[in-house]
Structure 1
Amino acid sequence: MKLVKSLLLGSAAGIAAVAGAQAADLPSRKAAPVEYVRVCTAYGAGFFYIPGTDSCLRISGRVRAEYAVGTRYSDFQDAYGTRARGRLNVDVRTQTAYGTLRTFLRYELTNNTGIYAAGGVTPFNVGATIPGLVRGPSSSSTSSLLDLAFVQFGPITAGRAQSFFDFYANDLGFNSVRTADSRVNLLAYTATFGSGFSATISAEDRTSGTSGRELPGAIFNVATPLVGAVGVTAQGQDFPDLVASLRVDQGWGSAQLSGMVGQRSYATALSTTAVNGDEMVWAIQGGVKINLPMLAAGDALWLQAAYADGALGYLGWSPGSFGLGRIGALTLADAAINPITGNVDNSTGWSLVAAFRHFWTPTLRSEIFGSYSEVKFKYLDANAIAFGGLTARSADPKEFIIAANLIWSPVSGLDIGVEVLYSHLDVRTPVGDLSNNAVRNNLLGIKSDDTVAGRLRIQRDF
């Protein structure tokens, strides 16, 4: 019996050995390693590693719904409007031996109806595009915008970015005020000195601005006092605008001093000879932001002042025309050529901006902001009116804007708010009335106008 058991066990062992040897000769089917998405903490919340790379990616965006009502100036104009906007942000960063390599993209799609789609009606876009009355009710319009697209490599910024001239760039509120707020194509170098201090030199192409307010302005067909219409054209620039800024960011807040110098070429054909103008333009701005945690966490105050000579876009004034309600279609130009002397006379202006943010509770805040601006032209607008024995003069607008809102954030990333805005515009000489009942006022002219607007905004940032 023992002999039989030994033979059986020996046979089984042999079979197992042969089977094991054959199995070793079969091809392996080991599963490929799975690469899971890893969180990247080097650049803040929301970043993760792109699989197979050492680059960190963050995808974010915004959806905004907005509803507005306001002053109606004629029977041909809507008194309300709606807006829907979607925004997508893509932020990719990689740490290199030369510093952080960053690529950022922001793209927006917007649908406007009613007073938003009119494109030229204040106070809904008073600081954004060409104001003034639009004849006929507006319809729906959809637009797309490449808002930002830049590469940062160490101290270098290249592409479409916020101008380094800007400080308070409409950081608060639903509506724009008269201030520098520009996204332009640029090439910049930033040097950091420690303790929050930095300095930047930037070459900026202002003709690439996101809307009229970012452009430096242009020369148009204008009139000079006692002379008459003079055909004037812009001849372009020999180099982009050069911007320099000195900035400090510390626990108490931040401050910045920025300046710009540029060149414009103008020409006009007079009855006797052709006169060319090659003019230097400049602008300067100073701003400070003061954190006020002693009032409430997140509270802050912004103060800013700016002056421009021949470059009104750096104050937030758009080239082309301007107006407020019944006042509209008046020429806004950076310069005029004197047909007697042939000299280029730059338009000048200055602006003041103030803004305050206060948190009543961690989820309820208010924002109050406003601007005051004055501009002096060197020409007489064709719509200026002389009456009562007085001679028509340059328009020289003075504008005051103030707004306040109340915003509730019940959950993180969601804002539900209402805002009320008041605008007032004065012009130095009477101009024609663009309202529907303008027969009498066109004879006498008007010198000032007021507007009131209200908005409801629901916005989700993710």
Structure 2
Amino acid sequence: APAPAHPAPHAAPAPAAPVVIAAPPAPNPEEQRRITRAQVDEALRGALPNSWRVPGTETSVRLYGFIKTNLFGSLDLRDRSDAPSVQGIPLVGSAAGQQDGDISFSARRSRIGFDTQTPTAWGPLATKLEFDFAGDQPSPSGAATSSGYMPRLRQAYAEIGGDSFRVLLGQANSLWNEGLVETLTDATFINASAVRQAQIRFTGRLAPGLTGQVSLEAPYTDYTSSDGVFFPDSTLDGGASPATNQVPDLLGRLTWRGALGEASLRGLVRQLRIEADGTAAAPGGGGSSTIGWGVAANGSFNMNRLWPGFGADQLIGMAYYGEGIGRYFDSTTSGQAAYSRLGLPGAPEASLSAVPSWGFVAGYKHYWMPALRSTAAYGYARLDNPDFVSQFATGGPGATAVNREMQMGVVNLIWSPFARDSGGRVDAGWLDIGVEYIYFRRDLEGGATAGGDAGGRGIEQRLQASAIARF
């Protein structure tokens, strides 16, 4: 028999091969820097376009503004203002009307501002703080105007809420404002508005494309008498102004935006009040008040809805009517919201009559190419003044402020070398360079009889060249 099998003894394991750990590749300094920068950028990117987030907070901050340089001059008279109001241009025959035009160079309309946005349980909290340098000159004599313009607060407000409903509190553009006509001049276009004031505003989305707004805004009575134009902060013979305020102004607006363009309907109601007691106007004359109101409609139509060949061209229109609108049309009726008999013989009482006014604007914006565009626009305004203004002293401050009709026209050519066309909508980019012709005319109530030696009308023609660099 075969011998029994015996299990073979276990063989000793072979020695393990040594483990070789490869050294990590040397870091690429350029890649390290790129990754680090991307991480930092992501960490600091804000919720607003072109904004950054404050480290350790949820607040996004954006800096914006522009540098604007204007070269301008009147062709036929002397007018040093860089933002002339058509209602106050020099009259033919006045001292300024007898002088030749001169030119001026200024960058005081440059602007800087900050936007912020912070998420809250009630929706985003947005704030804005904005300044320009179009404030008063520090020297009343005008002796030192080089770099002498003071900063001026334009807007300072907070707004909270979402797309459906928002509440704003602070100084902001009035609900009455609109800026349909693109101009280079900083003068407010006739029948437009550039009022900024303290307010509380409510904004709600009523339907797709339709927004409703209501605001209570700061009151500021303005009126004209034989002694001139008065506001609450004016003085009369070194004393207080008869113009006073009692209740805020009430404004409302409906705005629709869509493929056809934009349309807006707005209205306002305001109280106008004067108090003669304690003033040099008529001590013991008592007080008087009246109601001012107005309605306006404006719109812009995208011409490419008629024919694609029109490109980004727009047709612009606006019309209004009201009584006592006054300073809300700061180029035509500021100071002429109402007239008073104060200072006239046999009329010591503090009477106040709201002034009916109406007007319109028509314009067209044409794109010669995406980088080159022009706007041509014309506006007309009329005031139906009370009969007693004929008693104002001929050539006096009251009579020479009582305009009956006003006109303004503008034609410009603006080059934006970095403009981009995005499906019929043009983004102008960061640089505009342009030239502009502006025409102003005003005719006094009563004509030369009211103006005296200064004549009964004022006509000004102006040329302006501007460069605007945005950031």
Same fold (TM over 0.5): yes
Taking a change above 3 Å as real, the CA distance of residues 79 and 303 of structure 1, as seen in their structure-2 partners, is: same
The one-letter code of the counterpart of 1:61 is G
State, as a whole percentage, how many aligned pairs show the same letter. Answer: 20
CA distance in 2, matches of 1:375, 1:432: 18
Alignment match, 2:156: 149
d(CA) in 1 for partners of 2:443 and 2:315?
A: 28
Counterpart check, 1:459 vs 2:468:
yes
User: Which of 44, 53, 56 is equivalent to 2:57?
Assistant: 53
Instruction: Tell me, yes or no, if structure 1 residue 218 matches structure 2 residue 223.
Output: yes
1:88-99 alignment, distance < 5 Å: 88-99=112-123
CA contact under 8 A between 2:431 and 2:469: conserved in structure 1?
Answer: yes
1:259 is displaced (CA, Å) by: 0.9
Matched, 1:176 2:199: no
Letter in 2 for 1:106: E
Alignment partner of 1:311 is 2:325 = yes
Who is 1:205 aligned against?
A: 218
Q: For residues 271 and 428 of structure 1, what CA distance do their matches in structure 2 show?
A: 25
Residues 217, 312 of structure 1: 8 Å contact kept = yes
Q: How far did residue 248 of structure 1 move? A: 1.2
Question: Is structure 2 residue 129 aligned with structure 1 residue 105?
Answer: yes
C-alpha separation between the residues in 1 aligned to 2:285 and 2:150? 41
How has the CA–CA distance of structure 1 residues 428 and 416 changed in structure 2, closer, same or farther, with 3 Å as cutoff?
same
Match of 2:363 among 342, 355, 364: 355
Q: Go from structure 1 to structure 2 and tell me whether the alpha carbon gap of 1:272 and 1:192 turns closer, same or farther (over 3 Å shift).
A: closer
Closer, same or farther in 2 for the Cα pair 1:295/1:163, shift >3 Å? farther
From the superposition, tell whether residues 176 and 219 of structure 1 become closer, same or farther in structure 2 (CA, over 3 Å).
closer
Distance 1:394 1:242 in 2: 27
**1:324-367 CA-partner distances (Å, limit 9, x unpaired):** xxxxxxxx462214828865321221221223222111111111
Give the Cα separation in 2 of the matches to 1:346 and 1:358: 39
Between the aligned partners of 1:422 and 1:77, the Cα distance in structure 2 is 16
Cα distance in 2, alignment partners of residues 202 and 446 from structure 1: 42
> AA paired with 2:413?
L
Contact 1:409 1:415 in 2 (8 A): yes
- Who is 1:427 aligned against? 444
2:104 is equivalent to residue 81 of structure 1: yes
Helix, strand or coil at the partner of 1:96? coil
Q: Which residue of 2 aligns with 1:66?
A: 70
Work out whether 1:368 is the aligned partner of 2:382.
no
Question: What code does the residue aligned with 1:199 have?
Answer: G
Residue 277 (str. 1) matches residue 294 (str. 2): no
Cα distance 1:193–1:42, how it changes in 2: closer, same or farther (>3 A)?
A: farther
Structure 1 counterpart of 2:175, one-letter code: F
Q: Which runs of 4+ in 1 moved over 6 A?
A: 135-138, 269-273, 318-321
> Relative to 1, partners in 2 of residues 1:233 and 1:431: Cα closer, same or farther, differing over 3 Å?
farther
Shift of 1:173: 3.8
User: Compared with structure 1, are the counterparts of its residues 111 and 206 closer, same or farther at alpha carbon in structure 2 (3 Å cutoff)?
Assistant: closer
Q: 1:404 aligns with which of 395, 398, 411?
A: 411
Name the CA distance, whole Å, in 2 between partners of 1:137 and 1:422.
30
Q: Distance in 2 between matches of 1:341 and 1:334?
A: 15
Query: What's the secondary structure of 1:274's corresponding residue?
Result: coil
CA distance 1:57–1:166, shift in 2 (3 Å)? same
CA distance in 2 between counterparts of 1:97 and 1:273 reads 55
Residues 1:84 and 1:273: Cα distance change in structure 2 (over 3 Å): closer
The letter for the 1-side match of 2:111 is R
Would the alpha carbon gap of residues 95 and 137 (structure 1) be closer, same or farther in structure 2, given more than 3 Å must change? closer
Aligned-partner SS, 2:129? strand
Contact 1:218–1:334 (8 Å) recurs in 2: yes
- 1:252 and 2:260 aligned: yes
Gap change, CA 1:185 and 1:192, over 3 Å in 2? same
- CA–CA distance in 2 between the matches of 1:362 and 1:320? 37
Cα distance in 2, alignment partners of residues 254 and 367 from structure 1: 18
Q: How many residues align?
A: 374
Quote the residue 1:324 is aligned against: none
- Aligned residue for 2:273? 265
Q: Following TM superposition, by how much is the alpha carbon of 1:271 offset from its aligned partner in structure 2, in angstroms?
A: 8.3
SS, match of residue 99 in structure 1: coil
Q: 1:266: how far off?
A: 1.8
> 1:56 deviation in Å?
2.1
For 1:457 and 1:407, how far apart are their aligned partners in 2?
9
SS in 2 for 1:58: strand
Task: Find the residue that maps to 2:328 and give its secondary structure.
Answer: helix
Q: Is the 2:155–2:171 Cα contact (8 Å) retained in structure 1?
A: yes
Deviation, structure 1 residue 148: 1.0
Cα deviation code 1:216-239 (max 9, x no counterpart): 52344459xxxxxx9995351221
**Per the alignment, in what secondary structure is the counterpart of residue 36 of structure 1?**
helix
Change (3 A) 1:459 1:248: same
Residues 191-234 of structure 1, C-alpha deviations (whole Å, 9 max, x = no match): 11231111111011144xxxxxxxx52344459xxxxxx99953
